[in-house]
Amino acid sequence: MVKLLRFLHPYRFLIPVELTMIFLQSLANLYLPTLMSDIVDFGIVKGNVPYIFRMGTWMLLVTVGGAACSVLGSLLASRISAGFGHRLRAEVFAHVTRFSLQEFDHVGTASLITRTTNDVTQVQQMVNMMLRMMVMAPLSCIGGIIMAVVTNAKLSVIIVIVVPVLAFTVAVIFRRGMAWFRQMQAKIDQLNRVLRENLTGIRVIRAFNRIEHERRRFDAASRDLTETAVTVNKIMAALWPVMMLIINFATIAILWFGAVRIDHGAMQVGNLMAFLQYVMQIFFAIMMVSMMSFMIPRASASAARIQEVLALRPAVADPPQAAEPVPAVATRPSAPDAVRLAAPYAAEVPARLAAPHAAEVPARHGVVTFEGVTFRYPGAEAPALAGITFTASPGEVTAIIGSTGAGKTTLVHLLLRFYDAERGSIRIDGVDVRDMKQADLRRRIAYVPQRTVLFSGSVADNVRYGKEDATDDEVRAALAMAQAIDFVEAMEGGIHAEVAQAGTNLSGGQKQRIAIARALVRNADIYVFDDSFSALDYKTDARLRQAIRQALRGATVIIVAQRVATVMDADQIIVLDEGRMAGIGRHAELLATCPVYREIVASQLAGEGIA
């Protein structure tokens, strides 16, 4: 919790103003009982009406002043705590964006959402409470004790007995609450996880008639959270009656002994009234502390969860001395083929799309070398990839094929440095990817992920995600290349048609083609398509590959696929089997030499005369 207070730094000048307001308000509260006591003892008892008016007016002024300070203090506390929450949320979010996939796997997306929202709110509320109470509670308590002793020292013995009892009760409940609050945040995580799966998987849930099952799962998570919340509230609920009982006993004792003292002439009525008010202020301060103790366990559990995220260092980090970034490829000459392919949008076809000619490409740009690469997911026993060695050259299409779970996506993720290899090295143009800045590395790669992700906005916005300053014609050219222009132009608004959140108004194949256009619009050295043609029909798949072959001539193209038809014409095919390379070569070679490849071919293309 304390570590997070650094986010209050911008308010270092406002906080003293706020604390001063609360200080003045507390002073007013302490002064009022004395004024009242004087009015009773010197005004009412002695029948001194002018004194009552004079002191009454003064009392009114002190009250109004105290109220004004209270309002201003509360407003400032709200402003400071809201600003604190905003800064903390922004920092957590910014930190999370630097995470490698390893940290995402470790914390979990649902938990990261809870930590950025609910947990931050808990801490923010605690800060607000602290700003208002950290001056008021001790001042009311200590000031109240001093004033009570000054008013009547002997009667103050009651305070000496009652305050430790109250403080002990609060401490006991505080200790018990902490563990339960920690559990409560974990259960909110669980509920969020179930909710998220339900909302994102609604189609599958409906198709498999699992609504009832999911409802039960949600109910179970919700009930679990409710039970914990009830236990927490039971503990906290016990606090109030116990405290009220102690306070009421103390009040009776004060009135009893006070009356006796008045009877003996050792105390005045006004004094007793003031004394009672001071004692109430002391108790009120303790109650405020106990209210904070209600919030502290929860807020510190939340703070610990936030701190855990902030303390996580990304497993993938930029080197202190990064290799010089390779200049962009925009200077490459163009070839007429690609322009023709992108027609009639050729006017502003980007240099990359305008197909550099392999022979004119400056010294082997974009050579990808894997050398003895082994990788294991954290906690996994077997490596997902072992001893992977190959070179993907510019001007060539390198295909990666293998059954599900063979490690194809993992290989691509290592090239993009979403994870770091355990052994071996991955180099681009001879430079280890770990020696490059991540931004420089990724600038050189255009990537189409296996699971299409589109953002809300227009089709053009989504394509421009690949190249911010792409003109409309460049966007159209990329869409044409991705075999997407026909359906995009048919949409209302053409390239400016809106894509709904997560692309729900598009078919799987349409989304995939927009994602391909997003990569094609980029001026990159290396193009990676991770199973990106799976949702396309064979004809579109073939047309698209032909377009890519011509347009990306000179670039290094890596195509991950499950279909043999997609990889058959590649310059080299890498066959993966349970994380190992089972073969490498052209289609015909592999048919002759690689049993795993033959098996894949046989299972897919039997009887179609592929050999």
Is residue 380 close enough to count as binding ligand ATP by CB under 6 A? Answer: yes
Angle at 465 between CA 439 and CA 104, to 5 degrees: 55
Binding part of the chain for ligand ATP, among 218-226, 291-299, 322-330, 397-405 by CB under 6 A, reads: 397-405
Nearer to ligand ATP, 105 or 473 (CB): 105
Site string for ligand ATP, 88-127 (x = CB under 6 A): -----------------x----------------------
Is residue 451 close enough to count as binding ligand ATP by CB under 6 A? Answer: no
CA 207 to centroid of chain Cα atoms:
31
In the chain, the amino acid numbered 311 is A
> Rounded to the nearest 5°, which phi and psi values hold at 106?
-70, -50
Is residue 30 close enough to count as binding ligand ATP by CB under 6 A? Answer: no
Site string for ligand ATP, 54-93 (x = CB under 6 A): ----------------------------------------
CA-CA-CA-CA dihedral for 378, 383, 389, 394, to nearest 10: -50
- What lies within 8 Å, CB to CB, of 108 at 6+ separation is 189, 193
Member of 338, 384, 521, 555 binding ligand ATP (CB under 6 A): 384
Is residue 402 close enough to count as binding ligand ATP by CB under 6 A? Answer: yes
Nearer to ligand ATP, 350 or 407 (CB): 407
State the nearest-atom distance from the C-beta of 201 to ligand ATP, in Å.
18
Nearer to ligand ATP, 484 or 557 (CB): 557
Is residue 408 close enough to count as binding ligand ATP by CB under 6 A? Answer: yes
Member of 177, 407, 509, 554 binding ligand ATP (CB under 6 A): 407
Is residue 377 close enough to count as binding ligand ATP by CB under 6 A? Answer: yes
Nearer to ligand ATP, 74 or 562 (CB): 562
* Contact status, residue 165 vs residue 188, Cβ threshold 8 Å: no
Is residue 409 close enough to count as binding ligand ATP by CB under 6 A? Answer: yes
Nearer to ligand ATP, 31 or 533 (CB): 533
Is residue 376 close enough to count as binding ligand ATP by CB under 6 A? Answer: no
Binding part of the chain for ligand ATP, among 16-24, 33-41, 51-59, 407-415 by CB under 6 A, reads: 407-415
State the nearest-atom distance from the C-beta of 384 to ligand ATP, in Å.
4
Chain positions 560 to 589 lying near ligand ATP, rule: CB under 6 A, are: 562
Is residue 417 close enough to count as binding ligand ATP by CB under 6 A? Answer: no
Is residue 383 close enough to count as binding ligand ATP by CB under 6 A? Answer: no
Residue among 570, 575, 566 at smallest CA distance from 593:
575
Is residue 489 close enough to count as binding ligand ATP by CB under 6 A? Answer: no
Nearer to ligand ATP, 395 or 449 (CB): 449
Whole-angstrom Cα distance, residue 247 to residue 163?
10
Which regions of 291-410 does DSSP assign to beta strands (E)? Answer: 368-375, 385-392, 397-402
Residue among 567, 548, 537 at smallest CA distance from 395:
548
Whole-angstrom Cα distance, residue 3 to residue 9?
12
3-state secondary structure of 470: coil
CA-CA-CA-CA dihedral for 276, 281, 284, 285, to nearest 10: -140
Burial 562-585 (b: 16+ CB within 10 A, else e): bbbbbbbebebbbbbbbbbbbbbb
Region class of 387: left (phi > 0), else alpha (psi between -120 and 50), else beta: left
Site residues for ligand ATP per CB under 6 A: 105, 377, 380, 384, 402, 404-410, 450, 562
